[in-house]
């Protein structure tokens, strides 16, 4: 508990016109970790960030920072700094002065300002750019200036609002590595907002998947990828095949007209469930060896693998990622291990979900 | 070939500039060097540097600065709060509509309002205060001038504040700036161009005001504008009138240069 830096307690946010953005959000963030708020646009993730930064006040509930309630602390008195989506660099100031902005406000001595700005710029590999105008910097460089401007103040928490979304693909990949490395070198708490699940999986210690103003699931990237709590999470994170099924009894699930062995238990007999199988867990085999028999509809070459869209006799679509090629129109068998089947109860809360997983005896944080 | 095609459409504009910009200024300069008999002389210029005219120039300058200052003082906060309202463009229109009404008409309206038997004097007499001479004072002159210029000042300022990226304000707050510091170090420097345009469209016309000066200030305030009117219409001394006009043009140029865009610097 002593490690908690930010805590949300029953935080809700709605606007005057009645739109509800956040519904009863609860979470705790620990010092020195990389957190990601992941969700589609309009899900409320940016609102959470703005509440932490102090730009927006929650309609109800409390926000704690280092154990102190900060609901009424104005933005300029909080020990957090933000990297904005559009970077929000001051166009009338050059690179040095942008980074020095926060230090000048603190009335720091000129010599110390020089030192710290130089150090921050070195941190983001922008030495020698001090006197450039912002308009002379490329997108990736502006991004770094924005990060330098945030870290130079030595805040406890750095908030990043979709900072990579304006960059091109290659630069985005590079910045993912850099951000993760930067966070580990600084040892600060990062709260990163994104709608890009790949970014979230690659960088985070812990991900909060948010939809419709609620936290759907939180956990390590591996947990969330392997054990999504519901259809939304399974669909949003990675690619998945989701079909409806019936849990006949423990370790027996029926879908696509057949009964399969699985590793899930603890549901009511004959309970309706959603079944997820990731495309990379499906293996192409001959029709007689296959657990499912499907017809190949389309095939795309994705570089590392082929992506096959196939249909079974019931009309369910099965996406397959395979190193092997198939022929369009061909009938093939699909094989998968019992562990590949992930069963999701409908409308299960995160608490119930965690409890059920624990009862399997597998360590969740493996 | 392409060059010729591009030049063709420019001809009407070139003619316009020659006949309506260059020619009038040349004529003014020409007339400024003529005496009452039409002889060439520099006497008018010498006379301009006499105490009478210098004082007039100073008065014009002084009032124009006052008018601009008060107009800015009212317009900036107004424009700022306008951008924060929900139907900002509607409100802006309400403020601009009065500028569509004829200037003379508005000026006459103020003669009625400020008059000895006007509503203001009627109002203060309710509290037992004797009717006062409001018209023909410095105050009424400034008041009416500021009123006239406010819409012209608000428009460019409104546009520059409206264009300001709101996340810059968030960023300043995020970096520890109080609301006042945010204004001083981010909002003001980034909207200064709008303020400069506002000053240009207020200060320059305010220098050469003569109708409001005549009708509202009476003979209490004598500016270069009224002096030009005197010289042309009363004294029939076109030479002296033109000389004053030449100096007005020079002052305007100077103020244009003064408020022109400057190259970006490092610190503020």
Does B187 contact chain A (CB < 8 Å)? no
Q: Which residues of B touch A155 (CB under 8 A)?
A: none
Mean model confidence pLDDT for chain A:
90
Q: Cβ A92–B189 below 8 Å, yes or no?
A: yes
User: Which residues neighbour A69 within 8 Å (Cβ) at sequence distance 6 or greater?
Assistant: A62, A63
Identify the three-state secondary structure at position B34.
Answer: strand
Closest Cα of chain A to B71: distance in Å?
26
Which is more confident, B153 or A17? B153
User: Which residues neighbour B47 within 8 Å (Cβ) at sequence distance 6 or greater?
Assistant: B53, B240, B243
Task: Give the DSSP per-residue string, A90-130.
Answer: -TTSBHHHHHHHHHHHTT--HHHHHHHHHHHHHHTT-TT-T
Q: Is B136 left (phi over 0), alpha (psi -120 to 50) or beta?
A: left
Does B186 contact chain A (CB < 8 Å)? yes
| Beta bridge mates, A62 | A9
> What's chain A's length in residues?
366
Q: What is the pLDDT of residues B28-59, one digit of tens each?
A: 999 999 888 888 888 899 999 999 888 888 88
Q: Which residues of A touch B267 (CB under 8 A)?
A: 93, 97
Confidence grade of residue B169 (pLDDT, cut at 50, 70, 90): very high
Q: Cβ A84–B189 below 8 Å, yes or no?
A: no
CATH code for A237-282+338-366?
2.40.50
**Does the pLDDT at position B268 exceed 50?**
no
Q: Cβ A102–B176 below 8 Å, yes or no?
A: yes
Is residue A178 a contact partner of residue A190, using CB atoms and an 8 Å limit? no
Identify the three-state secondary structure at position A322.
Answer: strand
| Beta bridge mates, B200 | none
Which of B160, B167, B175 to substitute to test the interface with A, most A CBs within 10 Å? B175
Confidence at residue B265, expressed as pLDDT on a 0 to 100 scale:
44
Q: Which residues of A touch B186 (CB under 8 A)?
A: 90
Q: Cβ A88–B267 below 8 Å, yes or no?
A: no
Percentage of the residues of chain A whose pLDDT score is greater than 90: 56
CATH superfamily of B50-258: MetI-like (1.10.3720.10)
Q: Cβ B176–A106 below 8 Å, yes or no?
A: yes
Is residue B192 a contact partner of residue B143, using CB atoms and an 8 Å limit? no
Question: Can you give the residue ranges of every domain in chain B?
Answer: 50-258
In chain A, the residue whose alpha carbon lies closest to the alpha carbon of B178 is A76
Q: Cβ A133–B264 below 8 Å, yes or no?
A: yes
Q: How far apart are CA A62 and CA A68, in angstroms?
A: 10
- Give me the residue from A91, A131, A153 closest to B175, CB to CB: A153
Does B184 contact chain A (CB < 8 Å)? no
Confidence at residue B252, expressed as pLDDT on a 0 to 100 scale:
85
User: Which residues neighbour A259 within 8 Å (Cβ) at sequence distance 6 or greater?
Assistant: A248, A252, A253
Q: Which residues of B touch A49 (CB under 8 A)?
A: none
Q: Which residues of B touch A131 (CB under 8 A)?
A: 266
- Give me the residue from A54, A88, A94 closest to B171, CB to CB: A88
Which of A17, A54, A56, A76 to substitute to test the interface with B, most B CBs within 10 Å? A76
Is residue A264 a contact partner of residue A341, using CB atoms and an 8 Å limit? yes
Closest Cα of chain A to B195: distance in Å?
16
Q: What is the pLDDT of residues A136-161, one digit of tens each?
A: 999 889 999 999 999 999 999 999 99
Q: Cβ B186–A90 below 8 Å, yes or no?
A: yes
Q: Which residues of A touch B165 (CB under 8 A)?
A: 86, 88
Which architecture, in CATH terms, is A4-226? 3-Layer(aba) Sandwich (3.40)
Mean model confidence pLDDT for chain B:
88
Stretch 141-180 of chain B: residues touching chain A, C-beta under 8 Å: 165, 167-168, 170-178
The CATH class of A285-335 is: mainly beta
Q: Which residues of A touch B167 (CB under 8 A)?
A: 84-86, 88
Kind and range of the H or E element at A318? Answer: strand A317-322
The region of weakest confidence among A33-37, A52-56, B117-121 is B117-121
Closest Cα of chain A to B167: distance in Å?
6
**Does the pLDDT at position B267 exceed 60?**
no
Q: Which residues of B touch A149 (CB under 8 A)?
A: 175
With both helix axes pointing from N to C terminus, report the angle between B238-258 and B188-207 in degrees, rounded to the nearest 10. Answer: 180
Confidence at residue A2, expressed as pLDDT on a 0 to 100 scale:
63
Confidence at residue B67, expressed as pLDDT on a 0 to 100 scale:
95
Closest Cα of chain A to B72: distance in Å?
22
In chain B, the residue whose alpha carbon lies closest to the alpha carbon of A94 is B266
Q: What is the pLDDT of residues A165-176, one digit of tens each?
A: 888 888 888 888
Mean per-residue pLDDT, A189-197 = 93
Mean per-residue pLDDT, A297-320 = 90
Closest Cα of chain B to A78: distance in Å?
8
- Give me the residue from A76, A91, A133 closest to B177, CB to CB: A76
- DSSP state letter for B129: P
Q: How far apart are CA B169 and CA B180, in angstroms?
A: 11
Mean per-residue pLDDT, A193-220 = 92
Q: Which residues of B touch A96 (CB under 8 A)?
A: 266
**Does the pLDDT at position B26 exceed 90?**
yes
Confidence grade of residue A364 (pLDDT, cut at 50, 70, 90): very low
Is residue A237 a contact partner of residue A224, using CB atoms and an 8 Å limit? yes
**Does the pLDDT at position A9 exceed 80?**
yes
Q: What is the pLDDT of residues A253-293, one digit of tens each?
A: 989 888 898 888 888 888 889 999 999 999 999 888 888 99
Domain with CATH 2.40.50.140 in chain A: 285-335
- Give me the residue from B176, B181, B190 closest to A92, CB to CB: B190
């Amino acid at each position: 508990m002593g490690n908690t830096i930010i805590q949300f307690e029953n935080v809700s946010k709605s606007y005057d016109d009645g739109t509800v953005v956040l519904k009863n959000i609860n979470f705790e963030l620990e010092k020195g970790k990389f957190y990601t708020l992941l969700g589609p646009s309009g899900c409320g993730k940016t609102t959470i960030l703005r509440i932490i930064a102090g730009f927006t006040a929650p309609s109800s509930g409390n926000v704690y920072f280092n154990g102190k309630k900060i609901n009424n602390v104005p933005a300029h008195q909080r020990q957090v700094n933000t990297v904005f989506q559009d970077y929000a660099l001051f166009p009338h100031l050059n690179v040095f002065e942008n980074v020095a902005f926060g230090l000048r406000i603190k009335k720091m001595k000129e010599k110390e300002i020089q030192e710290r700005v130089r150090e921050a710029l070195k941190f983001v590999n922008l030495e020698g750019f001090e006197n450039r105008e912002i308009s002379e910097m490329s997108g990736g460089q502006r991004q770094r200036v924005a990060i330098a401007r945030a870290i130079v103040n030595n805040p406890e928490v750095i908030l990043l609002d979709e900072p990579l979304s304006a960059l091109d693909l290659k630069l985005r990949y590079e910045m993912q590595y850099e951000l993760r490395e930067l966070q580990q070198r600084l040892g600060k708490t990062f709260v990163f907002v994104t709608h890009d699940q790949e970014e979230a999986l690659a960088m985070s210690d812990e991900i909060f998947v948010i939809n419709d103003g609620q936290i759907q699931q939180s956990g390590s990237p591996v947990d969330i990828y392997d054990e999504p709590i519901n259809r939304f999470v399974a669909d949003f994170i990675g690619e998945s095949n989701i079909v409806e099924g019936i849990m006949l009894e423990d370790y027996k699930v029926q879908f696509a007209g057949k009964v399969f062995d699985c590793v899930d238990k603890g549901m009511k007999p004959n309970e309706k469930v959603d079944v997820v199988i990731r495309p990379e867990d499906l293996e192409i085999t001959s029709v007689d060896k296959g657990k499912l028999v499907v017809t190949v509809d389309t095939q795309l070459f994705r570089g590392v693998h082929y992506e096959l869209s196939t249909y079974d006799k019931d009309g369910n679509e099965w996406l397959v990622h395979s190193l092997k090629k198939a022929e369009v129109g061909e009938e093939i068998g699909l094989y998968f291990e019992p562990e590949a089947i992930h069963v999701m109860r409908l409308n299960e809360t995160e608490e119930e979900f965690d409890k059920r997983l624990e009862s399997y005896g597998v360590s969740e944080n493996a | 070939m392409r060059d010729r095609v591009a030049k063709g459409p420019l001809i009407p504009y070139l003619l316009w500039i020659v006949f309506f910009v260059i020619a009038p200024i040349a004529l003014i300069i020409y007339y400024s060097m003529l005496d009452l008999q039409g002889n060439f002389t520099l006497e008018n210029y010498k006379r301009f540097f006499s105490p009478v005219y210098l004082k007039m120039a100073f008065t014009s300058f002084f009032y124009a600065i006052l008018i601009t200052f008060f107009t800015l003082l009212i317009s900036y906060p107004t424009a700022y709060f306008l951008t924060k309202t929900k139907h900002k463009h509607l409100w802006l229109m309400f403020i601009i509509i009065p500028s569509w009404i004829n200037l003379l008409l508005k000026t006459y309206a103020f003669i009625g309002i400020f008059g000895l038997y006007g509503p203001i004097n009627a109002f203060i007499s309710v509290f037992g205060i004797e009717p006062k001479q409001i018209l023909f004072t410095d105050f009424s002159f400034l008041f009416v001038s500021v009123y006239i210029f406010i819409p012209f000042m608000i428009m460019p300022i409104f546009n520059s504040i409206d264009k300001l990226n709101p996340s810059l304000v968030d960023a300043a707050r995020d970096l520890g700036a109080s609301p006042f510091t945010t204004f001083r170090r981010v909002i003001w420097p980034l909207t200064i161009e709008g303020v400069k345009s506002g000053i240009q469209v207020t200060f320059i016309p305010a220098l050469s005001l003569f109708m409001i000066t005549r009708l509202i200030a009476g003979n209490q305030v004598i500016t270069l504008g009224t002096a030009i009117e005197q010289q042309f219409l009363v004294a029939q001394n076109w030479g002296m009138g033109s000389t004053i006009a030449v100096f007005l043009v020079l002052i305007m140029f100077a103020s244009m240069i003064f408020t022109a865009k400057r190259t970006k610097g490092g610190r503020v």
